[in-house]
Amino acid sequence: MGIVYFDQDRVFKLDTPHTSYLIGIVDEDNFVGHIYYGRRLTDYGLTNFLRTNEPPFVPSVNNRERISFLDAFPMEYPTHGIGDYRESAFRVRSKGGHRACVLSYVSHEIFAGKKKIPGLPTSFAKEGECSTLRLTCQDKCLGLSVVLNYSVFEDVDVIARSVEVHNMGTDGIMLQKVASMSLDMDNRDFEMITLHGAWARERHVEKRRLGTGFQGVASRRGEPGHQDHPFMALATAGTTQEHGEVYGVQLMYSGNFEIRAEVSQYTSVRWQAGIESEDFGWMLAPGEYFYAPEALLTYSFAGIDGMTACYHDFIRKHVIRGKYKNSKRPILINNWEATYFDFNTEKLLSIAKEASGLGIEMLVMDDGWFGKRNSDNSSLGDWQVNEEKLSGGLAHLVNEVNKLGMKFGIWFEPEMISPDSELYRKHPDWAIAVPGREPSQAREQLVLDFSREEVVEGIWEQMEAILRGANIEYVKWDMNRPLCDLGSALLTPEKQGELPHRYMLGVYELQERLVTQFPDILLENCSGGGARFDAGMMYYSPQIWCSDDTDAIERLAIQEGTAMIYPLSTMGAHVSDCPNHAVGRTTPFETRGYVALAGTFGYELDVTRIPEKDREEIPRQTALYHKYNDLIREGDYYRIASASENHAFDCWQVVSKDKKESLVTCVQVLASPSRRSRIIRLKGLDETKRYRVEGEETVLYGDSLMYGGIQIHNLKGDFAGKLIHLISE
């Protein structure tokens, strides 16, 4: 078991394959302190790291300086209002209006496996793969119990942390902040790595030195959003892809979040992740529980590549579920950029007939098939087939597509409602809004109040009828606007702060129904592109639409940032038409295919109208997908070069787990005169194996390819791409 408690020293030692995490119980007040997190250790007796052997000492020795102690001690889960003036992980307001809270250790439990968090996505493990520490703390004055959960995995260097709160008292308590994790440690000249962007420009990597005070990322949009991402890494100075120490945290949650780091007066770092606290308030009645979402911690001493490998393996093994967990996904063609709202049965069948002969395996019907939906200004919430468009009905269309040997998929936006809809006219109170205030629209739509069971049930009944009425094998779940004007017609005034989190619980409930009652359906999440691309969504869907920007060159940066922490198999990526609909750029059809191969792979175009030369390329691309997808989906990913940094050349590599095969993808973003061929150094190969470059006579040992390199030539012109396939002899 990876967790041991040393009773005499009152130290918990948590070990993953290559890391250790140490917690200590200190003084008569049973403060819970953080001792160490990093490379795996043999020793556990490192309580000197708590610095209780130096002034101001612990309160039992020097109570006159209790505040000085509290404001410097490395708290494992710090609270508000008692003299620790750094950022608290836990804030409350009592019936009397007071906000002070003191949490003291009272007991613990260590057991094999881990428990599911009620109502929330939760990482999981098979028997023997995981052990859990439940560390219970109490504020006896408030009658409050807080359990800190730590699940340690045997096969990957990840620690999953979560928190549950139990009101054992006789009065209600308002929870104002419940972080999922907090970590105090010395600042080692850390650099902060985050993912930022905008619509169609998601998850661009940003690195900057960690400075004094507060810094971090957050969202109040009811979703993580395009702008920030529920992830942060702290890297030691000089860290590269291969070298240096990296601490990573990502939140397994799809709503409002905050991840912040604070550098204190003593140059220590307090690092926290959890539900965003500004719009959060939860009235916890006597006897009730509150559960915070899971935070996924990792530590790498092998640079960013090491962190990436941990997160990729963890998400593939311990987050993604269902039929497609370890399976190849069908190559799909989506009609959105081909037709937008202007389609009918005949048009869709013409696309399907052409696509089926080119190796494409699924037709996905996007927005516009329901209600009176001929533009984006009506009908969300009216999930009935528009038979003026789909003559003969949905089942007829699906049957005709199936006769072509293709699967059929469909688009929904279940969380939204149009003011111009039958549902809104019948149930205007189902929309999130503040009484007496006109709600702000986006894309001429409002958000349904999924904190209400009857709203979730009403949408589910419509979706279920559609899904049972035809042979639908894929669902694209979209969400095209953030939340605002937070108000629920059902919640009492003291509970209005619960709306954003209750809304997210309703979304999770509906997605759980979908994947449970239709286990063979492939669910792909989407939120205006990549605004809700997170590990929480991956618990329900094995893939997420990466971005509405399908331009191959823009996708290089988007997919680089995404692949830093998520497996390639989760990234929805398509070949689209040119000039690209988002940026107007024209890139070679071949290069568009190479970039899309790094994700789920599909098409977003009118295959009946593209140039014949491009159409003839599709069978080659679909063949490449079938040839390489197992490797791309299951292999280890390495970043070789970043066009975001060098502005000229992008390159990544995937290596099979047995190191017998590797695929290298290169894209030249900017051609340059007076330049010879490139030499790139590969990664992850077996030094002792000989590798043959497919299609060439080149045969080299793995050490030569990694430490000497391989020559890249014949990249002529901007946006030229190339695949290099290596097979061990």
Give me the active site residues, please: 478, 548
Instruction: Report how far apart, in Å, the C-alpha atoms of 495 and of each of 96, 115, 180 are.
Output: 18, 28, 21
> Do the strands 282-284 and 173-186 form a parallel or antiparallel pair, or are they unpaired?
antiparallel
Closest CA to 410 of 349, 369, 357, 457: 369
What is the rounded distance in angstroms from the CA atom of residue 398 to the CA atom of residue 396?
5
What is the rounded distance in angstroms from the CA atom of residue 17 to the CA atom of residue 157?
6
CA atoms within 13 A on the CB side of 123: 34
Instruction: Report how far apart, in Å, the C-alpha atoms of 241 and of each of 244, 429, 638, 673, 674 are.
Output: 8, 51, 9, 29, 29
What is the rounded distance in angstroms from the CA atom of residue 419 to the CA atom of residue 440?
11
Token pair in block for residue 367: 């927005």
Token pair in block for residue 552: 């191959």
Angle at alpha carbon of residue 249, lines to 245 and 253, rounded to 5°: 165
Residues 6+ apart with CB under 8 A from 720: 588, 591, 667, 668, 671
Partners of residue 273 on adjacent β-strands: 181, 259
Closest CA to 49 of 14, 30, 73: 73
Angle at alpha carbon of residue 612, lines to 611 and 614, rounded to 5°: 70
Closest CA to 372 of 413, 408, 412, 418: 418
Helix axis angle, 589-597 to 612-634, nearest 10°: 20
DSSP-derived letter for residue 212 is: S
The answer to whether the beta carbons of residues 426 and 454 sit under 8 Å apart is: no
What is the rounded distance in angstroms from the CA atom of residue 458 to the CA atom of residue 658?
49
Residue 94 phi, psi dihedral angles, 5° rounding: -80, 175
The answer to whether the beta carbons of residues 89 and 74 sit under 8 Å apart is: no
The answer to whether the beta carbons of residues 691 and 661 sit under 8 Å apart is: no
The answer to whether the beta carbons of residues 115 and 125 sit under 8 Å apart is: no
Token pair in block for residue 105: 């250790």
CA atoms within 13 A on the CB side of 279: 22
What is the rounded distance in angstroms from the CA atom of residue 180 to the CA atom of residue 178?
6
What is the rounded distance in angstroms from the CA atom of residue 38 to the CA atom of residue 51?
18
Alpha helical stretches, state H, 417-481: 422-426, 453-468
**Cα 360 vs. chain centroid, distance in angstroms?**
28
What is the rounded distance in angstroms from the CA atom of residue 684 to the CA atom of residue 702?
9
* Number of C-beta neighbours around residue 4 at 10 A: 14
Q: Encode 443-464: b = buried (16+ Cβ within 10 Å), e = exposed.
A: eebbbbbbbbeebbebbbebbe
> Do the strands 362-365 and 332-334 form a parallel or antiparallel pair, or are they unpaired?
parallel
Token pair in block for residue 666: 């290169």
The answer to whether the beta carbons of residues 365 and 406 sit under 8 Å apart is: no
